[in-house]
Amino acid sequence: MQLVITLVVPDPHDLVAALEAVEIAVAGTGAVVGEPDLLGPNAADLPVASDFQALIRERAEAALAGRRVDVCVQPAAGRRKRLLIADMDSTIINVECLDELADFAGVKDAVSAITERAMAGELAFEGALRERVAMLRGLGLTALQRCYDERVRLNPGAETLVRTMAAHGARCVLVSGGFTFFTGRVAAAAGFHADRANVLVEDGAALAGSVVEPILGREAKLAALREESAALGVTPAEALAIGDGANDLAMIEAAGLGVAYRAKPIVAAQADARVDHADLTALLYFQGYRHEQFWR
């Protein structure tokens, strides 16, 4: 089987040493290692002929332990994806919007504690969302726009990731357990084709402390992946899914390439690859895009 190992580093000076370490480690398995292919100043592919993908990944990750390097090991065929399904909070953007709204309501500590447990998989997402939203009852609607304007920022590389994939024919969908007020704005800013999220109930002046049922959670994110794939006439194997919390795990496991971004341990352990150090353009390199192909 023809595999490709992609290395992405925040500091280009670290790339050569990382490639050498992986090449030595992988060659020890008996695999045939080809010549590195530089994809950009901070990323490269290393082609490998081997029938033991899991072993190659294990050896590559062990060789890179302690280094600021993100690595992806996958079959060379079919690596460029037709669909991007992305989580929003703490993935495409820098914050958890619900926690930031809670700050405006004066209950951030209590809400953030529940968020942390839900994202770690310790609490059922739907119940945790209802509990947190209930704490926002009476919060004026003007706080939503203030929250977006003052707190929400796209994570580094997010817009480049989305607009590059879109420019090359992929469909890009933002799927969040958060709220449509934010996903609509974030989707427009980053270049997503569509967004799915929960709807906050309000009375025209303030939040009612509830959301429209059914809640978009873990299973709804998986359904979005399947529905969007079917609409494109492709399989989930041709999709890339990225997220950081337990409610992202089902779609990450179902996608052809499931990536954990600065993720909770439960997610990082199950994903096909992790992005812990580089920015979101690492996902473009994982798909074989070259730096000169990036949207600017």
- List residues with catalytic annotation: 87, 89
Q: What is the Cα 190 distance to its own chain's centre?
A: 14
- List the structure tokens of 198: 């929960």
Q: How far apart are CA 113 and CA 249, in angstroms?
A: 20
Q: How far apart are CA 200 and CA 213, in angstroms?
A: 10
Sign of the Cα pseudo-torsion (242, 275, 272, 289, in order): positive
Sign of the Cα pseudo-torsion (229, 235, 241, 246, in order): positive
Detail the DSSP E strand segments found in 87-189.
Answer: 171-179
CB of 127 within 8 A of CB of 211?
Answer: no
Preceding peptide of 36 cis, ω within 30°: no
Residue linked to tokens 């480690």: 25
- What b/e readout covers 75-85, taking b as 16+ CB neighbours within 10 angstroms? eeeebbbbbbb
Find all residues with CB under 8 Å of 38, minimum gap 6, and list them: 44
Find all residues with CB under 8 Å of 231, minimum gap 6, and list them: none
Length of the chain measured in residues: 296
CA distances in angstroms from 146 to 158, 230, 295, listed in the order given: 22, 38, 30
Find all residues with CB under 8 Å of 54, minimum gap 6, and list them: none
